[in-house]
Structure 1
Amino acid sequence: MAPRFEHKSARDGICNVYGLATWKRIVEELNFEHESFSTLGRYEENLIEKIAECLTEVLREGSPETYMQFFGECFVKFFTTYGYDKILRVAGRHFRDFLHSIDQLHDSNRFSFPKMKSPLFHVTDEDENGAVLHYKSKRRGFQRYVIGQLKECATRFYNEEISVRIQDDISTNEYSHIIFRVEFNNSSARESSKRLQNVPTLPDVTSSTFFKVFPFCILIDPSMRIYHLGKSIKNLFSSNTLLSGRYLEDVFRLVRPDILLGWSKGQMKLIAHWNMVAFLCHPVLSTTEEMLSLGLYLHDLNFYDGTSEILIAGMQHARTLQVAIDKVTKLKDRIPFEHD
């Protein structure tokens, strides 16, 4: 059982497109206690799929997959209506930027919804005609829902008409793993590549300066062994922990992006004259309690990014949200639900 925005957005979408009478019929068929959903309520994990199946039977047209995609579109519209679209609008100038930023967008919600288990997304290949997008989740049957979300985001925020097809399904018993081929005008990928090639040549910096700027840096040799760690990342371990010379995967686990950990992947910088790869990472923190439990302080964080500012702003937002939730919960206990 889990709290879901998807139920309320699906309900709103059905009422807006197919009418309130259709929704009332679904409520009756599925024996819902109320005609509305609470964003704070807890519902069955597969309830949205049951609604899609019931809608198919009530309308006598389409398929559950058709309406799962429709519900994905409704979810984006719901977020837009309630003002959550601002974070989506700043994801990037182009749709490809959005695809590359989906995981970051999910991470940004960890302050508001700390218990939310977000799916994983990452782009593996792209060309001028589109990109290959991997989707991985513990939940089953949501591939068409994701397609609806992608298409609605492309249209609404980037004025882009896209097509999405399932290129492969490599799901296991543990999780869904769907590979999408997303077709769209991706000429910006070539422009981005050109900009990266036309960077000026700058003088070398000393290793001392480098590790001051990147206190969470991990230096890795070609055999994927740890050669050196930045000061702040060392502070995460006890002083007698042997780290240098150990294989990276023996000490760390790659969570995002969901790819095989290998040489020159992700935020890696090849330093040719060292014959090393530097991984420029940063801690993902949600609360001061979590920060203190790791033995970290604000002055340990990177100079070059906004981790500390995001952490402080996120905690303030979380407190505001908690106050609002507490108020709604009290009202919920005092006022009975009414039918629409």
Structure 2
Amino acid sequence: MYGMLLESVQHFVQLEYGEELWLRVVQHAGCRHTVFNTHQVYPDTLITDLAAACAEITQSTNDAFMQFFGRCFVRYFSNFGYDATIKATGRYFTDFLQSVDNIHMQMRFTYPKMQSPSMYLTHVDENGVVLVYRSTRQGFTYYFMGQLFQIAVEIYGFDDLDIQMLETHNTASGSKNVQIKFRLNFDNREYMATHSKKNIFMERLSLPPVPAELLLEFFPFGMIISKNMNLLGVGEKLLQVWGETPAILGDPVARHFKLRRPKGIPFTWNNLIYLHSVIFEIELIRNLIKSEIDECIDRTTGERINVSNSYEKKSDKEDSDPEMLTIKPQQPNLAASLDRRGSQGTRCILLQGQMRYIEDISAIIFLCSPLINNLDELPNMGLYLTDLNPHGLSREMVMQGWQNCSRLEVMYERAEQRSIELERNYDLLESWKRRGDELLYSMIPKPVADRLRHGQNPLSTCESFDSVSILFCELVGFNSDTIRDVMDVVTSMNSIFSCFDALMDKFNVYKVETVGQVYMAVSGAPEPTPDHARNVIEVALCQLRDVKKLDLPTTVHVEIRIGIHTGPVVAGVVGIKVPRYCFFGDTVNTASRMQTTSESGKIQVSNVTHKMLPPGLYNSIPRGKVYVKGKGDMDTFWILGKKEELAVESTKTGI
């Protein structure tokens, strides 16, 4: 779907429910777009996801919000002047319902990828109409009903429209196509009275009958189709461009013509009858390529294909139902894959016009003219200006290149291609931005990095913290006498430090850096927390436990020793080339001394850190006085583990 539908939803949800609710809806629906582009194509499921999110947040229903979204679209497109297009279709609401497909056809240049629904009327009376709605999308039934309600109120000035759903079914097994029959109840007396007067006037004319051949003279590219979908007659110019071939009269129309518009429907009698108010486009399959189409080889199977019989006839059951038409997946048509461009006189001709039923002969006549972009196309089609209708401005429109301008189509194709490339580049930009963020957050904490992004000076990130806990962990026992040993050491260090990195976010601890075989982490900065001492102890215990579980090379035997100290520090971003978030102060030095004076496989903490631990949670024993360079003798403690875990382990070992 195009962005205009989503723009209307965003505008009126923000207007009637507020900006805050809209942001919640976008997040809840998993939509990564906050702004929509009118001419950009978005997934069809996006609008249904937004409706589901709105319904869940506001405690309403999905159908109610889909109907609300349909009303929003009608209110929104008036800003683009499309309400004038609807008003121009006719004086009455019924006129509009009969002209919807024509409106969509005219919009195909502005929105070339629009997958519009189709509809037709099967019954009209003074109390309303019976409408059959067909769509390739499921879940938009109430959206369509909302559009009808709003058009009735805003454009035709009545608010008593009542819509009843009579029948609904999917048109084919496994297909997304849906077909629904509605009963629309409204005051339709003026429309019926106008058409009654028109019928009475036509009956009073008492004109003599006109032969069908005369109509084909007025429309030399027209054709007459019987109820069994055979060709009863064709115009003179159509026979001329057909070439020297056996007579085509009596042949199935689908053998020589391909239905281009309306899209998504089979070429059947019922469709021609009920879509009489819709403009049809039919492509003539030229005789020079027809021999290739009638009988050719399937490249994948090697079997011979008869394309003439590839048009499946509807079942008797379907023909017997005059109101419900089915949409079938279109049969493979090799003519569809053939380019309309070709050499002199070989290009297929596209005919555009209206289907009219003639009761006297129980047949349909296709009153049409060829679609020609400019004079350059005439030789390729084997046509001349004198072949075109002398009425209807056909010749003048070809001369001026107005009709179905090919240059305009090329422009739209290029614009669409640029839009696709732009969207692809946008996704690539998002991917690289995400990678850049991950790299930045690995060097600088996210809160600090976000402040720098907002333009703050790096010096402003320098701040003091009254109390943090710093952990130093050193890998000991490495032996690297040979090149192979060195490679094993590097591989082992990568595995161990990666294991430690996974513990940081789990316990709200920030990894500062690794220097050689020493790993440094801190809790309490840059995001202060009162549990910083407990956090680093939990990390230290996990480090001791997890390093023993790693699958390291057999030549590597590694142990770790850990030291922890608590106190005030100053932290800030340092450097330009490779900026880092560094910590300064006596606390850092003391924590490093706790690690260097520790022992393999043990956790040594200072007295300050020990006092900040929750009482009774950890099993610790005093180590006594330890000489620390620059500090003198300090009281330190060994942390053995959690008391609960140690009690369970003692029970298992029987101690």
* Fold match by TM threshold 0.5: yes
How far the C-alpha of 1:317 sits from its partner, in A, is 10
How far the C-alpha of 1:278 sits from its partner, in A, is 4.5
Number of corresponding residues: 331
Please point out which of 72, 84, 87 is paired with 1:89. Answer: 87
Match of 2:126 in 1: 128
Match of 1:110 in 2: 108
Match of 1:33 in 2: 32
249-258 or 163-172: bigger deviation: 249-258
Match of 1:180 in 2: 182
217-226 or 3-12: bigger deviation: 217-226
2 CA distance for matches of 1:262 and 1:251?
A: 19
Secondary structure of 1:168's partner? strand
Please point out which of 182, 196, 203 is paired with 1:193. Answer: 196
2 CA distance for matches of 1:97 and 1:244?
A: 36
Check conservation: 1:135, 1:179, Cα contact below 8 A: yes
233-242 or 159-168: bigger deviation: 233-242
Secondary structure of 1:5's partner? helix
Say whether residues 1:171 and 2:170 are aligned partners: yes
2 CA distance for matches of 1:287 and 1:264?
A: 26
Instruction: Rate the CA distance shift 1:178–1:207 in 2: closer, same or farther, 3 A.
Output: closer
Check conservation: 2:163, 2:185, Cα contact below 8 A: yes
- State the AA in 1 paired with 2:234: L
How far the C-alpha of 1:223 sits from its partner, in A, is 5.1
Please point out which of 333, 339, 363 is paired with 1:277. Answer: 363
Please point out which of 269, 273, 276 is paired with 1:261. Answer: 269
Match of 2:224 in 1: 219
1:117-156 residue CA offsets vs partner (Å, 9 max, x unmatched): 3211111111110101111111111111110111111111
Check conservation: 2:218, 2:389, Cα contact below 8 A: yes
How far the C-alpha of 1:110 sits from its partner, in A, is 2.0
Percent identity between the aligned chains?
Answer: 27
121-130 or 24-33: bigger deviation: 24-33
Secondary structure of 1:312's partner? coil
1 CA distance for matches of 2:89 and 2:376?
A: 27
- State the AA in 2 paired with 1:197: I
Check conservation: 1:268, 1:278, Cα contact below 8 A: yes
Instruction: Rate the CA distance shift 1:262–1:149 in 2: closer, same or farther, 3 A.
Output: closer
1:179-217 residue CA offsets vs partner (Å, 9 max, x unmatched): 111111111124313312322233455666432212232
- State the AA in 2 paired with 1:102: V
How far the C-alpha of 1:114 sits from its partner, in A, is 2.6
1 CA distance for matches of 2:151 and 2:394?
A: 27
1 CA distance for matches of 2:381 and 2:114?
A: 22
TM-score w.r.t. structure 2 length?
Answer: 0.44
2 CA distance for matches of 1:134 and 1:6?
A: 23
Match of 2:405 in 1: 315
2 CA distance for matches of 1:64 and 1:237?
A: 54
How far the C-alpha of 1:304 sits from its partner, in A, is 5.5
CA RMSD of aligned residues (A): 3.9
Secondary structure of 1:180's partner? strand
1:31-60 residue CA offsets vs partner (Å, 9 max, x unmatched): 433421112333222110000000011212
Structure having the higher strand fraction is 2
Highest relative contact order (Cα 8 Å, sep 6+), 1 or 2?
A: 1
Check conservation: 1:112, 1:318, Cα contact below 8 A: no
315-324 or 69-78: bigger deviation: 315-324
How far the C-alpha of 1:296 sits from its partner, in A, is 6.1
Tell me, which stretches of 5 or more residues in structure 2 are unaligned?
Answer: 277-354, 431-655
- State the AA in 1 paired with 2:402: I
Instruction: Rate the CA distance shift 1:279–1:323 in 2: closer, same or farther, 3 A.
Output: closer
1:51-85 residue CA offsets vs partner (Å, 9 max, x unmatched): 0000011212x211111111111111111012222
How far the C-alpha of 1:246 sits from its partner, in A, is 1.2
Check conservation: 1:285, 1:291, Cα contact below 8 A: no
Match of 2:250 in 1: 245
Secondary structure of 1:102's partner? helix
2 CA distance for matches of 1:202 and 1:133?
A: 34
120-129 or 172-181: bigger deviation: 172-181
How far the C-alpha of 1:92 sits from its partner, in A, is 0.5
Say whether residues 1:51 and 2:50 are aligned partners: yes
Instruction: Rate the CA distance shift 1:320–1:220 in 2: closer, same or farther, 3 A.
Output: closer
2 CA distance for matches of 1:109 and 1:15?
A: 28
2 CA distance for matches of 1:81 and 1:177?
A: 31
Match of 2:15 in 1: 16
Match of 1:76 in 2: 74
How far the C-alpha of 1:321 sits from its partner, in A, is 8.0
2 CA distance for matches of 1:263 and 1:313?
A: 26
1 CA distance for matches of 2:250 and 2:181?
A: 36
- State the AA in 2 paired with 1:270: I
- State the AA in 2 paired with 1:28: Q
Q: Greater CA radius of gyration, 1 or 2?
A: 2
Secondary structure of 2:197's partner? helix
Check conservation: 1:132, 1:180, Cα contact below 8 A: yes
2 CA distance for matches of 1:207 and 1:121?
A: 30
2 CA distance for matches of 1:247 and 1:50?
A: 45
Match of 1:228 in 2: 233
